[in-house]
Structure 1
Amino acid sequence: MSSVTVSFEEAKEILKNENEEFARIYRKHRELDERISHLEEQRFLTPEEEVEEKQLKVDKLHLKDKMAEMVKEYQSKQHPTQ
Structure 2
Amino acid sequence: MLTDDQIAEHLRSTNADFREMEESHHRLDEELQTLLKNHTLTPQEESMKKQIQKEKLGKKDRMAEMIREYRKSQEQPTS
Normalising by the residue count of structure 2, what TM-score does the alignment of the two structures yield? 0.91
| Whole-angstrom distance in 2 between the partners of 1:22 and 1:46 | 34
The residue that corresponds to 1:65 in the other structure is 61
- The residue identity in structure 2 corresponding to 1:76 is K
Q: Which runs of 5+ in 2 are unaligned?
A: none
For these two proteins, the number of residue pairs brought into alignment is 78
Pick from 26, 36, 42: which aligns with 1:40? 36
Structure 1 residue ranges, 4+ long, deviating more than 3 angstroms after superposition: none
> Deviation of residue 74 (structure 1)?
0.7
The TM-score with structure 1 as length reference comes to 0.88
CA RMSD of aligned residues (A): 1.4
Q: Which residue of 2 aligns with 1:28?
A: 24
Q: Which structure ranks higher in relative contact order (CA pairs < 8 Å, sequence separation ≥ 6)?
A: 1
Paired AA for residue 32 in structure 1: L
For residues 43 and 76 of structure 1, do their structure 2 counterparts lie closer, same or farther at Cα, with a shift above 3 Å needed? same
Task: Pick from 56, 70, 76 the counterpart of residue 74 of structure 1.
Answer: 70
The answer to whether the aligner puts 1:10 opposite 2:27 as a matched pair is: no
List gaps (5 residues or longer) in structure 1.
none
Label 1:73 to 1:45 Cα distance change in 2 as closer, same or farther (>3 A): same
Percent of aligned positions that are identical? 35
